Structure 1
Amino acid sequence: MAAVVSAWMARTTTAAIGVTVIGEFPSDPKSIILKQCKTRKDLQQVHAHLIKTRLIHNPSVTENLLESAAIIIPNSLPYALSIFNSTPHPHRSAYNLMIRALTYHHSPRHSLLLFPHMSRNLVPPDHFTLAALFKACSKLPALTEGQQLHAHALKRGFHSTASVQNTLIHMYAACSSLHLARQVFDEIPHTDLVAWNSIMAGYAINNCWDHVVALFLTMREPFSGVGFDDVTLITVLTACGRLANLELGEWIAEYVEVNGMKKKLNLMTSLLDMYAKCGEVDKARVLFDELERKDVVAWSAMISGYGQANRCSEALGLFREMLRVKVDPNEATMVSVLYSCAILGAVEMGKWVHFYVRRNKLKLTVTLGTALIDFYAKCGSIENAVEVFEKMRVRNVISWTAIIHGLAGNGQGRRALELFHAMREAKVEPNDVTFIAVLSACNHVGLVEEGRELFLSMSRDCGIEPRMEHYGCMVDILGRAGLIDEAFKFVRSMPVEPNAVIWRTLLASCRVHKNVMVGEESFRQITQLEPAHSGDHILLSNIYALVGRSKDALRVRCQMREMGVKKSPGCSLIELEGVVHEFLSEDDEHSHSEEIYRATEEMIKRIKSAGYEPNTAVARIDAEGEDKVVSVSHHSEKLAIAFGLIKTQPGAAIRISKNLRVCIDCHNATKIISKMYNRKIIVRDRNRFHHFHEGSCSCNDYW
């Protein structure tokens, strides 16, 4: 027992001591101990009086003192342990209380140490003891100890007690032994609602959402004899959101309405979260607006819903409203906001979130840290991402994968490979997504041999069978490097049937390296698998145009029009002073349109003096003569860059997000702009980041 006390004493700081004057001491001091003692000093005064009057030898009084110290008064658990340790013969209820308290104070291992202490002192456990110990096993998790305690429960006949059965189900589920949890549940002769909720919660914590729904459907049957409460419905609504089961979710919504349960905030929050995850964001917003009281969970669910629906501007707008009404965000809020900031490239808002985390000393958990890494990487601030990664005390495979992927996308493929090897040295096993990230790193910097070796080691050394995405990475690695024939043979030799994405990847490489024959075959394969979209036609058209077959290029564009295939318009975003501005190619809808076009013309004129020549091959197909030059000059990223030049301080970095791949003309122009204006320009296109500085790009013109 001394080991338990010393361990806790070492971990816990002494609480600040207040002063309370206690009046006449009653013969039964329970109310004084449990209600009037507010500080450790109060407790010490009462404790001294109990010793003086010998009331300390009354077990019920001692247990009141223990409860106050262990659970009620903050930071007083070490004091409770010292009282417990000085008690000559603690009763079972004292043991039970201390086991509960240690688990409550995040020290479940010390809770389990008290069980052999009970046995040595010949204090028999009861069902309360075992239920509390099962909770401790759940927290660790400790399956072996839990099974030993289960055997003890069977031996003593406590296995039929409801509290033991329910905590036992939860313990096995928390230890990922769902078959044992289900076995306990199935062996209960008459399962009550708590047992049903326990097994459903067990499936939920293991992400077995189909089982949650199946159990609920059984509960709904008249023969089950079991109703359901808001706890049940919250679990099932979570499952509906994960499975996109809108039909069942709406059945629950109707049930809630009919049974007058709309006043339950947690239930309504789960309902709006279900709608959001099922893509019904507007229905979720109606529920959100109807809530009489909105807590941080409700705000976070709605913000997350907008983000998942790719309505990120609305997500950030709602976050600003949340701050305006003075609801403090939590970790879940921050993660959702960072996701939307990453999608929009909203650097300033994301930086504010990071500042808020530091100012409020929020713990840099794996989830929050990974969200920050992802945000900074997707906004082109890769050094900030690395800094966050290095400050994380705990990292998992997702954290490592996020930083490797971030480095790959920001043109630092070799550094990404170094981190991958460091990950292996740290004994963190890569998963299939990690290999997609590291193969992408090889792809972005042309590391063909390294890519080949990693692709082979994935199954050979890590037992991970390649998925379609891994094959796609290899096709891209070979194709970008100009090894078109090898890439074509690789596709033909794949053990799985290549999908349209694989052929599309090869088609894109054919455009870069002007390979008409393989490009035509790739396009033919795409059209056999699915209707070709605008990008496929444009890639083929560009291949023809680049080799001088303008009639064929025009024919493909005409086919697009005849088939009703519309080209996705180029769109670029720039964030200034917390506002995200959107530009379309040759667009005049912006409120500063005239000023922007004047700045664009001045910018083009200045870079032409430095050797820039517009590449009219990427102009609109229907443009003629001088219109081709104008078309190229007014691409969306050029408009966004011009706006950035006139609206930011000289020397400030300009960050642009684009929905399509950066065209060769804009890439060349931006290199010259970065040198002429002495600006760092960071452009995130559909595939990667381009960091332009002093006339060069981080991609080394390999994209």
Structure 2
Amino acid sequence: MSKLLHPSIFKKLNLAVRYLSQQFHRHSNFGGKKNPPLELLKLRLIHSLLIVSGLSHHSSFLTRLLLHCVSLPSFPCTYAVSIVDRVRDADVFTYNALIRGFSFDPQNAIFVYIRMRQEGVLPNKHTFPLLLKSKSKVPFQIFAQAIKFGFGSDHFVRNSMVSALSNCGLIESARQVFDEMTRKDVVAYTALMDGYVRNARAFEALELFLEMRVLGFAWTRLLLSVLCVLLECWAAFGLGGGYMGSLLSREELSETFMLAVLLLTCIPRVCKRFKDVLLLFQEMLVEKVEPNEATLASVLTACAQLGALDQGRWVDKYIGTRILELNSVLGTALIDMYAKCGCINKAFCVFERIHVKDVYPWTALIFGLAINGDAMGSLNLFSQMVSGGVQPNEVTFTAVLSACSHGGLVNEGQQLFSWMGSVYGIQPTVDHYGCMVDLLGRAGRLQEAAKLIEDMPIEPSAGIWGALFGACMIHKDYELGRIVGNHLIRLQPYHSGRYALLANLYSKCRNWEAAANMRKKMNEVGVEKTRGCSWIESNGVLHEFGAFDKSQVASETVYGILDNLTAHIQQLPFLLDASLLEF
């Protein structure tokens, strides 16, 4: 039995825990810029004070400790669970806080819920949205539990269910849940619209937008979601441009605010019009609109895609003059930009400047080493990250598997792929299978790659089949390549590149008739080969050029040099297959 505390000590403890509660809200809203070891040290000190004061079993105090714990950038899972273990009568708020902490780990989130029920604690209406937001692969079972405890009609639960089903690709089920809702708010419409877009169903997304317009939802509340969906429709099918224009012209919406919103998320993510992003950013600066963190990250993404190193450096300096501590978001964008522009040493310098190193800057640097040809460096960095207590995510594994693929590290790649589920509880996605097919294909293990595709628990994408086709071409397995190539055309009948590659395969087999028929079929279907396009930065100016483009001032000189280089390379003794130079 603990001794009775003096009221003044109790008051100080209450103030200390209230401080942590305020820190939690600040971290949740703004991402947190404090050093996590320092924050964790403060948390442990207050926890120790609670223990020696005999309050270590007090659920109210420990729930606030737990909320602060789960808000730290590197969530200390074991320590958080140990806090719950000390609570004598943990209530639903305590368990909800722990489920929130496992938002990145759906399996453990479910285990926490099971433990809660075994302890006889009843869930509340916030429990099920937290479980659904953990990206669990069992949304129907979670929803069944919500119905069992009387929360099936709660609109927060329903909104989360729509979002969860959309994320799992179960868009028809998401629509059914949406249609059964008696109260549909902005969040519900946004979740379903985003689901349609994610599943490449822009027409349905646009229809939903029109329905929202008829129902008279406030434009300002819908602004971001509506613009994103309209841009998705515009990018995919050329739909929605007129509605987007009417939105932009409405008097109550600030033009500069609209510009910032477009730049913030839509154009780089949806339309891939990165050059327009830089032009819009320049216009923002002229209009004296102060860019926020997300805008700067979008601009850096555009610089990375365009190879615009000078402009990326300018943004880096701009950030340095306005932000004292480089956070994870901007640091990750800077690392990505420098790495894709070939400045891997600068990427390392940025990494060292980041105050809080969570999984994102680590992953960006692992990717950076991979694309710059240092596969072993990527794996070593991955080991450093894990040994430092940072949990890898899906994108991290895409990065290291890509590094293994480019470095020919087959055994290492297979080991990492097996660790995803067995060690880290991460379900492989299409991207991970694509990396493995590419890894095996580059190594010439084509039958293993084909077997992996056959055994995939999810539908293989065209990109995966394309990786196998490319490997068939490299290793001259033209029979398997022919089968894969025809399957690709059935999957993507309007993709010009699929016809061209299969025609090239027939040409290499000297099957001229089949090659001619393939090009004839391409014309019959009405597919035109998309012209290749690229950019180069010179003296801070971006120049765009395409295949066979002769509009540039020095085009004749460039093509002359290219012809000379091609002729010279074809005469080199180490070139085994001059046909690789055909394009």
Name the TM tier (shorter chain): 0.5 to 0.7
Residue equivalent to 2:247: 287
What per-residue deviation string (whole Å, max 9, x for no partner) do you get for residues 277-324 of structure 1?
676576456434536464987544211211222233333222222111
Residue equivalent to 2:29: none
Residues 360 and 215 of structure 1: is their aligned pair in 2 closer, same or farther, counting only changes over 3 Å? Answer: farther
Residue equivalent to 1:346: 308
Quick check: 1:597 aligned with 2:559? Answer: no
SS of 1:394 mapped into structure 2:
coil
TM superposition shift of 1:562: 3.2
Runs of at least 5 residues in structure 2 that lack an aligned partner in the other structure: 1-5, 27-38, 71-79, 104-108, 114-122, 129-145, 197-204, 235-239, 573-577
Range that drifts further, 456-465 or 378-387: 456-465
Residues 480 and 116 of structure 1: is their aligned pair in 2 closer, same or farther, counting only changes over 3 Å? Answer: closer
1:512 aligned partner, one-letter code? I
Contact 1:476–1:509 (Cα < 8 Å) also in 2: yes
List aligned pairs for 1:622-661, cutoff 5 A: none
Question: Which residue of 303, 317, 329 corresponds with 1:367?
Answer: 329
Range that drifts further, 196-205 or 132-141: 196-205
Contact 1:573–1:583 (Cα < 8 Å) also in 2: yes
SS of 1:182 mapped into structure 2:
coil
What per-residue deviation string (whole Å, max 9, x for no partner) do you get for residues 15-54 of structure 1?
xxxxxxxxxxxxxxxxxxxxxxxxxxxxxxxxxxxxxxxx
TM superposition shift of 1:182: 1.0
Range that drifts further, 518-527 or 275-284: 275-284
Residues 548 and 569 of structure 1: is their aligned pair in 2 closer, same or farther, counting only changes over 3 Å? Answer: same
TM superposition shift of 1:395: 2.9
TM superposition shift of 1:399: 3.1
- CA distance in 2 between counterparts of 1:555 and 1:317 reads 44
Range that drifts further, 370-379 or 318-327: 370-379
Contact 2:398–2:431 (Cα < 8 Å) also in 1: yes
What per-residue deviation string (whole Å, max 9, x for no partner) do you get for residues 57-87 of structure 1?
xxxxxxxxxxxxxxxxxxxxxxxxxxxxxxx
- CA distance in 2 between counterparts of 1:408 and 1:371 reads 16
SS of 1:309 mapped into structure 2:
helix
List aligned pairs for 1:218-617, cutoff 5 A: 221=183, 233=186, 235-236=187-188, 239-240=191-192, 242-244=194-196, 247-256=207-216, 261=218, 268=223, 271-272=226-227, 275-276=230-231, 283-284=243-244, 286-290=246-250, 292=252, 294=254, 299-303=259-263, 304-310=265-271, 311-488=273-450, 491=453, 500-527=462-489, 529=491, 531=493, 533-588=495-550, 590=551, 593=552, 595-604=553-562, 607=565, 611-612=568-569
Range that drifts further, 413-422 or 196-205: 196-205
Contact 1:345–1:378 (Cα < 8 Å) also in 2: yes
| TM-score for both structures, normalised by structure 2 | 0.65
2:498 aligned partner, one-letter code? D
Contact 2:165–2:174 (Cα < 8 Å) also in 1: no
Contact 2:335–2:350 (Cα < 8 Å) also in 1: yes
- CA distance in 2 between counterparts of 1:513 and 1:473 reads 18
Could you say what the CA RMSD is over the residues aligned between the two structures, in angstroms? Answer: 5.2
- CA distance in 2 between counterparts of 1:116 and 1:89 reads 14
What per-residue deviation string (whole Å, max 9, x for no partner) do you get for residues 539-580 of structure 1?
232233335444443343233223333222222222345543
- CA distance in 1 between counterparts of 2:225 and 2:455 reads 48
What per-residue deviation string (whole Å, max 9, x for no partner) do you get for residues 187-220 of structure 1?
9xxx9xxxx8987999999999999999997885
Residues 410 and 172 of structure 1: is their aligned pair in 2 closer, same or farther, counting only changes over 3 Å? Answer: closer
Contact 1:570–1:585 (Cα < 8 Å) also in 2: yes
- CA distance in 2 between counterparts of 1:598 and 1:528 reads 40
Residues 346 and 398 of structure 1: is their aligned pair in 2 closer, same or farther, counting only changes over 3 Å? Answer: same
- CA distance in 2 between counterparts of 1:308 and 1:446 reads 31
- CA distance in 1 between counterparts of 2:215 and 2:98 reads 31
Residues 292 and 612 of structure 1: is their aligned pair in 2 closer, same or farther, counting only changes over 3 Å? Answer: same
Contact 1:488–1:518 (Cα < 8 Å) also in 2: no
- CA distance in 1 between counterparts of 2:17 and 2:255 reads 32
Runs of at least 5 residues in structure 1 that lack an aligned partner in the other structure: 1-87, 155-164, 222-227, 616-631, 633-661, 667-703
- CA distance in 2 between counterparts of 1:453 and 1:143 reads 29
Residue equivalent to 1:70: none
Range that drifts further, 265-274 or 410-419: 265-274
What per-residue deviation string (whole Å, max 9, x for no partner) do you get for residues 382-432 of structure 1?
333333233333333343333222322232222222222323333334344
Contact 1:411–1:444 (Cα < 8 Å) also in 2: yes
Residues 404 and 562 of structure 1: is their aligned pair in 2 closer, same or farther, counting only changes over 3 Å? Answer: same
SS of 2:542 mapped into structure 1:
strand
TM superposition shift of 1:113: 7.8
Quick check: 1:182 aligned with 2:125? Answer: yes
Range that drifts further, 386-395 or 322-331: 386-395
Contact 1:475–1:490 (Cα < 8 Å) also in 2: yes
TM superposition shift of 1:329: 1.1
- CA distance in 2 between counterparts of 1:463 and 1:433 reads 14
Residues 607 and 171 of structure 1: is their aligned pair in 2 closer, same or farther, counting only changes over 3 Å? Answer: closer
- CA distance in 2 between counterparts of 1:370 and 1:328 reads 21
1:371 aligned partner, one-letter code? A
SS of 1:544 mapped into structure 2:
helix
TM superposition shift of 1:517: 2.0
Contact 2:162–2:175 (Cα < 8 Å) also in 1: no
SS of 1:611 mapped into structure 2:
helix
2:268 aligned partner, one-letter code? G
Residues 171 and 293 of structure 1: is their aligned pair in 2 closer, same or farther, counting only changes over 3 Å? Answer: farther
- CA distance in 2 between counterparts of 1:114 and 1:204 reads 42
Residue equivalent to 1:664: 581
TM superposition shift of 1:488: 4.5
Structure label with greater radius of gyration: 1
Residues 485 and 284 of structure 1: is their aligned pair in 2 closer, same or farther, counting only changes over 3 Å? Answer: same
Contact 2:162–2:177 (Cα < 8 Å) also in 1: no
- CA distance in 1 between counterparts of 2:209 and 2:175 reads 10
Contact 2:47–2:65 (Cα < 8 Å) also in 1: no
2:322 aligned partner, one-letter code? N
Contact 1:102–1:111 (Cα < 8 Å) also in 2: no
Contact 2:453–2:460 (Cα < 8 Å) also in 1: yes
TM superposition shift of 1:522: 2.1
2:247 aligned partner, one-letter code? L
TM superposition shift of 1:272: 4.0
Contact 1:170–1:199 (Cα < 8 Å) also in 2: no
TM superposition shift of 1:331: 0.9
Residues 371 and 601 of structure 1: is their aligned pair in 2 closer, same or farther, counting only changes over 3 Å? Answer: closer
What per-residue deviation string (whole Å, max 9, x for no partner) do you get for residues 128-172 of structure 1?
xx8x997776454479989999979x9xxxxxxxxxx9x999968
- CA distance in 2 between counterparts of 1:114 and 1:453 reads 41
- CA distance in 1 between counterparts of 2:82 and 2:367 reads 38
Contact 2:410–2:443 (Cα < 8 Å) also in 1: yes
Residues 412 and 479 of structure 1: is their aligned pair in 2 closer, same or farther, counting only changes over 3 Å? Answer: same
- CA distance in 2 between counterparts of 1:150 and 1:255 reads 50
Residues 362 and 336 of structure 1: is their aligned pair in 2 closer, same or farther, counting only changes over 3 Å? Answer: farther
SS of 2:554 mapped into structure 1:
helix
Contact 2:437–2:452 (Cα < 8 Å) also in 1: yes
- CA distance in 2 between counterparts of 1:94 and 1:496 reads 55
What per-residue deviation string (whole Å, max 9, x for no partner) do you get for residues 321-361 of structure 1?
21111121111111222223333333333222222111212
2:581 aligned partner, one-letter code? I
